[in-house]
Amino acid sequence: MKISNYIYFFILLFSCNTNPEKLPILGNKEAVIKKVNGKQITDTIYHQIPNFEFINQDFSKITQKDYEGKIYVADFFFTTCPTICPKMKTQMLRIYEKFKDNPKVGILSHTIDPRHDTPAVLREFMNNLNIKSKMWQMVTGDKAKIYEIGQKSYMVSATDDPTQPGGIVHSGAFVLVDKNRHIRGIYDGTEPEKVDKLMKDMEVLLNEL
pLDDT in tens, 130-160: 999 999 999 999 999 999 999 999 999 888 8
Question: Taking residues 32-38, what's their average pLDDT?
Answer: 73
Dist CA 189 CA 133 (whole Å) = 21
> Is residue 140 within 8 Å of residue 117, measured between CB atoms?
yes
Count of CB atoms within 10 A of residue 130's CB? 8
Whether the pLDDT of residue 10 is over 80: the answer is no
Dist CA 91 CA 94 (whole Å) = 5
Dist CA 111 CA 89 (whole Å) = 12
> Strand, helix or coil at 100?
coil
Question: Taking residues 16-41, what's their average pLDDT?
Answer: 74
The whole domain housing 128 covers 5-206
> Is residue 111 within 8 Å of residue 138, measured between CB atoms?
yes
Dist CA 199 CA 120 (whole Å) = 30
Instruction: Identify the weakest region by mean pLDDT among 11-20, 24-33, 67-76.
Output: 11-20
φ and ψ of 13, to 5 deg: -60, -45
Dist CA 178 CA 26 (whole Å) = 11
Whether the pLDDT of residue 9 is over 70: the answer is no
Count of CB atoms within 10 A of residue 34's CB? 9
Mean pLDDT over each residue of the chain, to the nearest integer: 89
pLDDT top residue among 166 and 100:
100
> Is residue 87 within 8 Å of residue 190, measured between CB atoms?
yes
> Strand, helix or coil at 28?
coil
> Percent of the chain having pLDDT more than 90?
72
Q: Can you give the pLDDT at residue 20?
A: 52
Positive or negative, the Cα torsion across 77, 79, 80, 81?
positive
Whether the pLDDT of residue 128 is over 90: the answer is yes
Domain containing 186 — which CATH number? 3.40.30.10
pLDDT in tens, 195-207: 999 999 999 999 9
Number of domains in the chain: 1
pLDDT in tens, 85-126: 999 999 999 999 999 999 999 999 999 999 999 999 999 999
Whether the pLDDT of residue 29 is over 90: the answer is no
